[in-house]
């Protein structure tokens, strides 16, 4: 592991463009593989997680190619005709790839073995195994319901109506993807809204997706088997990646940064709404729609932040952004209270305890609770900085504490920058560019 110290710089200025949205990148490859014909994708995130998805789809018959101009093309095999992979599907660190591809395989007559790195192999897969088993697929996981695991698909699978026990776009998507090749109507009932990239993109590929609101809950249905048509996709900038720079520009004095082409799907933009509640100076320039997704350029200027009590109902729209929000809270005036965040304990790491420990090492005042953190901010004063932060091989811990280092007195050292490559390969280069 390569330790790296992120030290204070000048203000963040100029224009940057963050990598393509990871959720949309995964789905564009998967749906391209299920369409008959050639799908073209511009702006695909070339992180390890997305490339793992591409490799797995090639093992099941799709052809994924990259042109000299960076555009990707996917020649699909069609719904119902995925091929039996010869070897195990190595998912690396990607929970999204694993859970969604388990859904795809579940309604095809093939068997696939899923493997992953040490971090992914600790993450629970029971939440997708349960509903997909009810549709007819069978699973042989490792003890504790983790990877490595074997999925045996059932063709034809059995349609079902499934109420999500926890707010999870991955579980919703896995069931809907299984429904694409299942005769009859498969419905997911969503008590709490989660990111809706799957529904939006399925429509772009010609699938009829019905969404009804019944007694305050969303009922999302697909009727299979479906035929999917190829399409051209422009992947917007990842709001999760933009969030690191929005927080950095907010807390580093003198900053005035334009972040271009950021996806602002209402199920994903919670971090920007919460930052604005704290007093952040964020303007949305040139709002537009690209491929069914709302997009804008974000102008972010340094501003004094004030601690707030974060509404737990907003958590699903920013669940991955809480680590960097905790950094903003550590620099705010007064206390920031978060709750309802039990989900953060089963991410790539236990992000509540990992961020509490990391911020304390850097000189912040943090109290860890069962379902959130209570952070008393520095009123804009730089954090002292200090000893080496343990990232637990979690890319969001690593990047969040890198941002903390930019607004510290002596810098923050993280124990490894390697996990950052999974989602944001040019993160450090963009920091250098914006603070040059």
Residue ranges for the known binding site are 22-23, 27, 95, 123, 168, 170, 320, 347, 351, 396
Q: What is the DSSP letter of 384?
A: -
Question: Binding site for 3-phosphoshikimate: which residues?
Answer: 22-23, 27, 168, 170, 320, 347
Residue 214 CB partners (closer than 8 Å, separation 6+): none
Residue 292 CB partners (closer than 8 Å, separation 6+): 200, 201, 203, 204
Question: Binding site for phosphoenolpyruvate: which residues?
Answer: 22, 95, 123, 170, 351, 396
Per the CB < 8 A criterion, the answer to whether 406 and 431 are in contact is yes
- Which pair of tokens denotes residue 411? 């810098």
Half-sphere exposure of 421 (CA within 13 A, CB side): 9
Distances (CA, A) of 56 to 22, 89, 258, 281: 16, 6, 36, 42
Per the CB < 8 A criterion, the answer to whether 378 and 331 are in contact is yes
Per the CB < 8 A criterion, the answer to whether 178 and 139 are in contact is no
Provide the terminal-to-terminal Cα distance of the chain, rounded to the nearest Å: 27
DSSP 230-273: --EEEPPBPHHHHHHHHHHHHHSTT-EEEEEEEE--TTT-HHHH
Classified as helix, coil or strand, 191 is coil
Q: Give the separation between CA 48 and CA 421, rounded to whole angstroms.
A: 6
Q: Give the separation between CA 82 and CA 207, rounded to whole angstroms.
A: 18
Half-sphere exposure of 186 (CA within 13 A, CB side): 27
Classified as helix, coil or strand, 86 is coil
Q: Give the separation between CA 175 and CA 128, rounded to whole angstroms.
A: 8
Helices (H), 262-333: 270-277, 322-331
Which residues are marked as active site? 320
The CB density around residue 409, as the number of other CB atoms within 10 Å, is 14
Question: E strands within 274-385?
Answer: 281-290, 293-301, 335-337, 365-369, 372-376
């Amino acid at each position: 592991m390569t330790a790296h110290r992120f030290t204070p710089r000048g203000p963040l200025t100029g224009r940057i463009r963050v990598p393509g949205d990871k959720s949309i990148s995964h789905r564009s490859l998967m749906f391209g593989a299920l369409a008959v014909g050639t799908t073209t994708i511009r702006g695909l995130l070339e992180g390890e997680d997305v490339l793992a998805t591409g490799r797995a789809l090639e093992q099941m018959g799709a052809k994924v190619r990259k042109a000299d101009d960076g555009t990707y093309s996917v020649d699909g095999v069609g719904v119902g005709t995925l091929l039996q992979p010869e070897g195990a599907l190595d998912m690396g660190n990607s929970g999204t790839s694993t859970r969604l591809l388990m859904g795809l395989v579940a309604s095809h007559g093939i068997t696939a073995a899923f493997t992953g790195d040490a971090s992914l192999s600790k993450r629970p897969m029971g939440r997708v195994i349960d509903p997909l088993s009810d549709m007819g697929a069978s699973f042989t996981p490792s003890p504790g319901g983790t990877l490595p695991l074997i999925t045996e698909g059932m063709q034809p699978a059995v349609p079902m109506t499934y109420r999500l026990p926890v707010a999870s776009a991955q579980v919703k998507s896995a069931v809907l993807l299984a429904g694409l090749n299942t005769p009859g109507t498969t419905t997911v009932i969503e008590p709490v809204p989660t990111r809706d990239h799957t529904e939006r993109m399925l429509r772009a590929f010609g699938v009829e997706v019905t969404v009804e609101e019944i007694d305050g809950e969303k009922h999302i249905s697909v009727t299979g088997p479906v035929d999917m048509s190829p399409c051209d996709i422009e992947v917007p900038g990842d709001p999760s990646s933009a969030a690191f720079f929005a927080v950095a520009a907010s807390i580093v004095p003198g900053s005035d940064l334009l972040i271009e082409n950021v996806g602002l799907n209402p199920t994903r933009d919670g971090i920007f709404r919460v930052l604005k509640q704290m007093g952040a100076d964020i303007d949305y320039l040139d709002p537009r729609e690209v491929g069914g997704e709302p997009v804008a350029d974000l102008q972010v200027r340094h501003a004094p932040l004030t601690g707030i009590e974060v509404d737990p109902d907003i958590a699903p729209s920013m669940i991955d952004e809480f680590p960097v929000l905790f950094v903003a809270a550590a620099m705010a005036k007064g206390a920031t209270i978060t709750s309802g965040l039990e989900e953060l304990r089963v991410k790539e790491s236990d992000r509540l305890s990992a961020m509490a420990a990391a911020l304390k090492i850097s000189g912040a005042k943090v109290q860890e609770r069962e379902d959130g953190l209570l952070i008393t901010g520095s009123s804009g004063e730089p954090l002292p900085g200090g000893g080496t932060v343990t990232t637990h091989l979690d890319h969001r811990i690593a990047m969040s504490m890198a941002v903390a280092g930019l607004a510290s007195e002596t810098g923050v050292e993280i124990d490894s920058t390697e996990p950052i490559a999974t989602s944001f390969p040019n993160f450090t280069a963009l920091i250098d560019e914006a603070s040059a």
